[in-house]
Structure 1
Amino acid sequence: MKLKFIEPLVSNYPALTKSITQQTVRATIADNLTDGGTTPSKGMIAESTVYAHDHQLSLTIMIRPRGGDSVYSDPELKIMEADALDAQQLGADGIIVSALTADGQVDTEAMANLIAAAGGMSVTFGTAVDELNDAQLADNLKWLADNGVEKVLTKPASQPDLARLSKLNNIVGAAGMQLIVWTSSDTQPDQLNEQLGLNYFLQPQK
């Protein structure tokens, strides 16, 4: 079993302060976790960033205007760009963001604008990776890596498709990125660590 890391995912300030342990190096904040996470308020970002940095942690912000699919309208993309810029100006260290075209490809134009709005923050491509067309998965992930995306977030089902998850991990690793798994249970990290050698997990905290 490989060493594994659990990154807390929280939706409110008290949960952030309670979830930090000596092993925590990074935390993520998002609103509406039951709906896959949406962008938290500017106030939440500001105070969480101060707390994280005071405790030598990096803070990642979910940038997502709504639940549902990752095919966004132009107004939604403008909202996301503004939110990413806000997160950068408030001192956050990274964002989780993704956008797809209607045919299941990375929306390269939208993502280029969102990466630019991040202004040097670490960029993680969100769970839209699970909606990508399998036939072009490698090409899509290579584009992300070539354009500055460092991590990819997947959210497998409670009984994950191990073959696809292994394939995704291999492609992400070959592109020089890190795969992060949004856990659906307390036991899933141990299982996926043992079965596939996955070692970085994002786990919702109450």
Structure 2
Amino acid sequence: MLIKEFCAENLSKLPQLSAPAISRVELCDNLAVGGTTPSYGVIKEASAYLHEKGISLATMIRPRGGDFVYNDLELRAMEEDILRAVELESDALVLGLLTEDNQVDLDGLEQLLPSTQGLPLVFHMAFDLIPKEDQLQAMDDLIDLGFVRILTHGGASDTDIADNIDHIKALVKHAGDRIQIMIGGGVTADNCQELADLTGTNIVHGSKIV
């Protein structure tokens, strides 16, 4: 069965969603910059509304647009945002931290882990900035940290996801049953099933999958 995660920038499209067609919503703000942390009020209302409809909520934790290299102040802000997202009954947290040389920021993630209180963790498309030759090791590191899912386009954001099929298949194979690979970026209601079949994953993500 294909699992669809709808990417919602705000509350406006949530009434259009229904389970089981949509299993999960990733809630963020500012999609123009790739998504940032939504406000307290938006998370609160989305959580209550989606849970009534039987749809789970994954909340984006990202303090700003731009790169994914965060300083100590930003990490502390992310800790506070995580605590609020947990308090508001998010079902998962979506985040991604990199070092200046585009490797997984293990130290930063370990600093944030206590505040997540055991919620499932998703590494977002910052993963695609990691050099491809380092991505399998990065995946292993994320598994060790307890991440349950990785969102990937399989290549640079300006590429067509259809051109990244082989790489995504390699990621899916390496992941096995240890972590889920979710595809996004150019995934629509029209092509999601075909892309899932070609890549070997059963989880798709996007703002145009309904």
Give the TM-score, by structure 2 length. Answer: 0.88
- Of 188-197 and 37-46, deviating more is 188-197
Q: Distance in 2 between matches of 1:147 and 1:56?
A: 28
1:193 equivalent among 173, 196, 202: 196
C-alpha deviation, 1:185, in angstroms: 4.2
Match of 2:137 in 1: 139
Match of 1:59 in 2: 57
SS in 2 for 1:27: strand
Match of 1:37 in 2: 35
SS in 1 for 2:100: coil
Higher relative contact order (CA 8 A, sep 6+): 1
Question: C-alpha deviations, 1:130-185, integer Å up to 9, x for none?
Answer: 011333322221111112110001134334322222222222336x0001112414
Match of 2:125 in 1: 127
1:180 equivalent among 182, 193, 198: 182
Q: Distance in 2 between matches of 1:69 and 1:190?
A: 31
Structure 1 unmatched runs, 5+: none
- Of 101-110 and 195-204, deviating more is 195-204
SS in 2 for 1:86: helix
The answer to whether the Cα contact below 8 Å between 1:28 and 1:60 also exists between their aligned partners in 2 is yes
- Over aligned residues, Cα RMSD in angstroms? 1.9
The letter for the 1-side match of 2:166 is: A
Q: Percent identity?
A: 31
Aligned length: 203
The letter for the 1-side match of 2:64 is: R
1:18 matched to 2:16? The reply is yes
Structure 2 unmatched runs, 5+: none
1:74 matched to 2:77? The reply is no
- Of 78-87 and 186-195, deviating more is 186-195
Question: Which stretches of structure 1, 4 residues or longer, exceed 6 Å deviation after superposition?
Answer: none
